[in-house]
């Protein structure tokens, strides 16, 4: 589903943020990317969604070599990736429903189907009753769940989330992570960047550890380590 071959990334500032990264993630797998702040977690996720391009090496998403995706193709790649952000990035001037509907509107989904799928997504994150609410009226945890509903509404085969629980208390964080784990169970590949070691231990999923842009460990808590 996801393959990095000897990927390096250097920003114009000159430092290698990622160096010689190689790993593979199978379809339906849930993987955490962790490491100290500045280790390159966000950069790794950005390469997957073509927010940035690697300086060296190849990234394959769902069999597609991203180096061959031109500017015009980027939107179509992103439609197959659900993105979740630490600060949720909801549009504050629209209702919860309209926020979640956005990816479907973009792909030109028929209106009746939009309503059906938005409700299904909101139901999955437990916010069906709040579809008419404005994002500001929700709690931080609820806002993050709306962000997740928006990421899954298009049924993408891959979900990437950058510190999705960074702003949440431990209890809420576990709930959110369990939500991601559920998607994994239905065949969706999930890649989550997080530096919350307690959470990683608890989830018992595969973990990639970055240190100054190098992959220094790849393990599953409770199995080998």
Partner 1 sequence: MSARHRSGGEAAATRRPRRPWRELLEAWRDQHFYSFFSSLGRLAARPFTSALTVLVLGLALSLPLFFWLAYDNARAWSGGLREARDVTAFLDPAGDAGAAVALADELRRRDDVAAVLVRSPEQGLAELRQLAGFGAALDVLDGNPLPSVLVVTPRAADPAYDPPLVAELRADPRIDLVQYDAAWRRKLSGILQLGERLVAVVAALLAAATLLVIGNTVRMDIQTRTEEVAVMQLIGASDRFVRRPFLYSGLWYGLLGALCALLVVVAVELALAAPLGRLLGEYAQGAGVRGLGPPLALVVLGAGAALGWIGAFIVVARHLASGRPAR
Ligand X SMILES: Nc1ncnc2c1ncn2[C@@H]1O[C@H](COP(=O)(O)OP(=O)(O)O)[C@@H](O)[C@H]1O
The residue within the footprint of partner 1, chosen from 20, 74, 175, 184 (CB under 8 A), is 74
Where b means 16+ CB within 10 Å and e means fewer, 34-66 reads bbeeebbbbbbbbbbbbebebeebebbbeeeeb
State which of residues 15, 26, 27, 91 lies at the interface with partner 1 (CB under 8 A).
91
- Beta carbons within 8 Å of 161's beta carbon, 6+ residues apart: 83, 84, 85, 148, 151, 180, 190, 191, 192, 193
Shortest distance (Å) from residue 200 CB to partner 1: 25
165 binding Mg ion? (CB under 5 A) = no
- Asked if residue 52 binds partner 1 (CB under 8 A), the reply is yes
Work out whether 43 is an interface residue with ligand X (CB under 6 A).
yes
Distance of closest approach, residue 61 Cβ to partner 1, in angstroms = 6
- Write out the H or E segment, with its range, that includes residue 204: none
Q: How far is the CB of 162 from ligand X (least distance, A)?
A: 7
Asked whether position 41 contacts ligand X by CB under 6 A, the answer is yes
Shortest distance in whole angstroms from residue 83 CB to partner 1:
6
Contact between 156 and 145 (Cβ < 8 Å): no
Q: Residue 24 to residues 4, 62, 71, 73, 153: CA-CA distances in angstroms? A: 6, 11, 25, 23, 25
Q: Does 188 bind Mg ion (CB under 5 A)?
A: no
Is the CB of residue 118 less than 8 Å from the CB of residue 86?
A: no
34, 42, 144, 165: which one binds Mg ion (CB under 5 A): 42
Other C-beta atoms closer than 10 Å to the C-beta of 212 total: 15
Binding site for ligand X (CB under 6 A): 11, 13, 17, 35, 37-43
Binding site for Mg ion (CB under 5 A): 42
Binding site for partner 1 (CB under 8 A): 49-53, 61-66, 68-69, 71-80, 83, 89, 91, 102-103, 105-111, 150, 154
């Amino acid at each position: 589903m996801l393959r990095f071959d000897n990927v390096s990334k250097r920003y114009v500032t000159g430092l290698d943020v990622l160096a010689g990264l190689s790993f593979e993630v199978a379809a339906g797998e849930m993987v955490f990317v962790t490491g100290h702040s500045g280790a390159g977690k966000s950069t790794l996720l950005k390469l997957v969604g073509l927010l940035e391009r690697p300086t060296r090496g190849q990234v394959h998403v769902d069999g597609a070599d991203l180096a061959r995706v031109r500017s015009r193709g980027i939107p179509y790649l992103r439609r197959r990736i659900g993105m979740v952000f630490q600060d949720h990035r909801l549009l504050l001037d629209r209702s919860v429903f309209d926020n979640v509907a956005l990816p479907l509107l973009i792909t030109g989904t028929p209106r009746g189907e939009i309503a059906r799928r938005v409700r299904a997504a909101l139901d999955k994150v437990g916010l069906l009753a709040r579809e008419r609410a404005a994002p500001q009226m929700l709690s931080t945890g609820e806002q993050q769940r709306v962000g997740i509903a928006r990421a899954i509404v298009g049924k993408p085969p891959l979900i990437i989330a950058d510190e999705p629980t960074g702003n949440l208390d431990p209890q809420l964080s576990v709930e959110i992570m369990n939500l991601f784990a559920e998607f994994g169970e239905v065949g969706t590949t999930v890649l989550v960047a997080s530096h919350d070691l307690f959470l990683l231990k608890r989830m018992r999923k595969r973990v990639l550890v970055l240190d100054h842009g190098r992959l220094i460990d790849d393990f599953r808590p409770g199995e080998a380590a």
